[in-house]
Each structure stands twice: as structure tokens, then as C-alpha cells.
Amino acid sequence: MTTIKLNDTTAKALAEAAQSQQMSVEEFVRLRVLGEQNGSSAADEASKVDFDSELNSLLFPGPTLPADFSRADIYSDHE
């Protein structure tokens, strides 16, 4: 096992971030900082929720394309 020394401010911020995700600090570091997966379906689900949340943050209100929109609609004035 490796020990990492952190200043109090960083350690507190890391602990708060882990707690907000309902994880231990070790699990938070492994999943969020190192990007490792431990095979846990709960961790996988958390990753999917985070991904979906990130994508939703990129959405903007505006017009959408019609359901029958196709490539032909883009090039209707070309042969």
C-alpha cells in the first residue's frame, strides 16, 4: 500500500467530494481520480448518471430536427 501526504485543505476537500458521492475516499480516488472500475454495478451506474448529467448540461433550448429528417434534406439542391 502507498501513502500519499496531503495538506489539510486538500484532504478535507477530497473527503467532502467522496462523501457527496456516497463513497469512501479510497473508492472516490480509485473511480474518479484514477478512473479505475472495480466491477461494482453501483459504481458503473454512478458513472452512467454522471455521464448523462454531463450530457444534459450541454443541451440547449431550441428547435429540433423533424423525425423524418435525412441526408437527402441537406443536399436537396445538389445532385
The predicted-structure confidence for 3-23, as pLDDT tens digits, reads as follows 888 889 988 988 998 898 888
Q: Would residue 8 count as lying in a domain? A: yes
CA nearest to 31, candidates 43, 15, 45: 43
Q: Would residue 25 count as lying in a domain? A: yes
Q: Give the structural domain span for 33.
A: 1-41
Q: Would residue 17 count as lying in a domain? A: yes
Q: How many domains does the chain have?
A: 1
Q: How much helix, strand and coil, in percent to the nearest 5, is found in the chain?
A: 55, 0, 45
In this predicted model, what pLDDT tens digit does every residue of 28-40 receive, in sequence order? 888 877 776 555 5
Single pTM value for the model = 0.42
